[in-house]
Amino acid sequence: MKAIRYHEHGDADVLTMDDVLEPTPGPEEVTVRVHAAGVNPIDTYVREGNVSPEDGLPHIGGADVAGVVEEAGEGADAFEPGDRVFATGLGLFEPGTYAEYVSVSESKLAPLPESVSFEEGAAAAMAFATAWRGLVTRGDLSVGDVCLVQGGSGGVGHAGVQIARHAGATVVATAREGEPAEMVRELGADAVVDYRADDLPTEIREATGGDPVDVVLEPHAASNLVDDLDVLVRSGRITLIGEDEEIRIPPGAAMTGKIADADLRFMSIMASTDDQGPILRSVAPLLGDGTFEARIAKTYPLSEAPAAQRDVLSGGTLGKIVLEVT
């Protein structure tokens, strides 16, 4: 089969198209014929060597998959050949999804509704699993809460806006004014604030009508954490899903957080192996009936994975980047 691998860590130029053996499903695994694979920042971090793949090098990257079950291994009985499925959380503890076939633990899989394309399934997998875990599982989001989604037009952010809206929260999102903000409004945000505002906390408070924020979904903690603490309700929750730079809290902001009993909650959907499948099985019917929508910024063929990975780090994409595989 064809697969995108790297034999050494480095920039996107180390990615090569190789001919490799098709995987054989192990116990309680199925082999999936990959139709589409999501492209995520974590794919680039593993490629660069910031996080080491457990199966060593050469390595097939990619965390998200949507495709069709090809073969079931011993003890795998939840899915049958021909079933449409999607999953996330691969590419770190095992070979990933930038390939024509991938073997997946049955526990990670969810049925992909017929009304959802493979590209949409791959786009939705990590984005919605991360946002769901960040807001619902870790953030304890409830009906009537005020929810702030930082980076609302991005992959996880646009999923978070929809999940918060579905949960019955008042949703305020940050996004650049123009097309990004318009997309976030279309997805159900009650208010959108331009993250480039000179006084972001004041703008957020005006957007909420003066109500403090109960839950924050935060992908850029190094840039935003001080502002998050400024607008948070007493005992509010901030779920940190992205720490690409060192996080520093000035003494004044730290004291604000202590006075407010702020609760900082870290999480990674890649490490949350027990949650990946169950969350996607909750998300799937909501994708199927149109409650949730996975926005796709751009698609690339598998052979152009290097360009796709450069694109995912360029910033400003509206939704997700997807590889079309077979």
User: For domain 139-266, is the CATH number 3.30.420.130?
Assistant: no
Would you say 324 and 301 are in contact if contact means Cβ atoms under 8 Å apart?
yes
| Averaged pLDDT, 154-182 | 97
pLDDT tens-place string over residues 95-107: 999 999 999 999 9
Tell me the C-alpha distance between 172 and 207, whole Å.
7
pLDDT tens-place string over residues 99-150: 999 999 999 999 999 999 999 999 999 999 999 999 999 999 999 999 999 9
Q: Dig out the tokens for 280 from the structure.
A: 């996607």
CA dihedral 38→40→45→48, nearest 10 degrees, is 50
Q: Give the start-to-end residue ranges of the domains of the chain.
A: 2-125+273-324, 139-266
pLDDT tens-place string over residues 184-243: 999 999 999 999 999 999 999 999 999 999 999 999 998 999 999 999 999 999 999 977
Integer Rg of the chain from CA: 20
pLDDT above 70: percentage of residues in the chain = 100
Work out the burial of residue 326: count CB atoms within 10 Å of its CB; fewer than 13 is exposed, 13-18 middle, 19 or more buried: middle
Q: Which stretches of 75-176 are assigned E, i.e. beta strand? A: 84-87, 101-105, 110-111, 146-149, 170-174
Q: Which overall architecture, per CATH, does domain 2-125+273-324 show?
A: Alpha-Beta Complex (3.90)
Tell me the C-alpha distance between 38 and 23, whole Å.
20
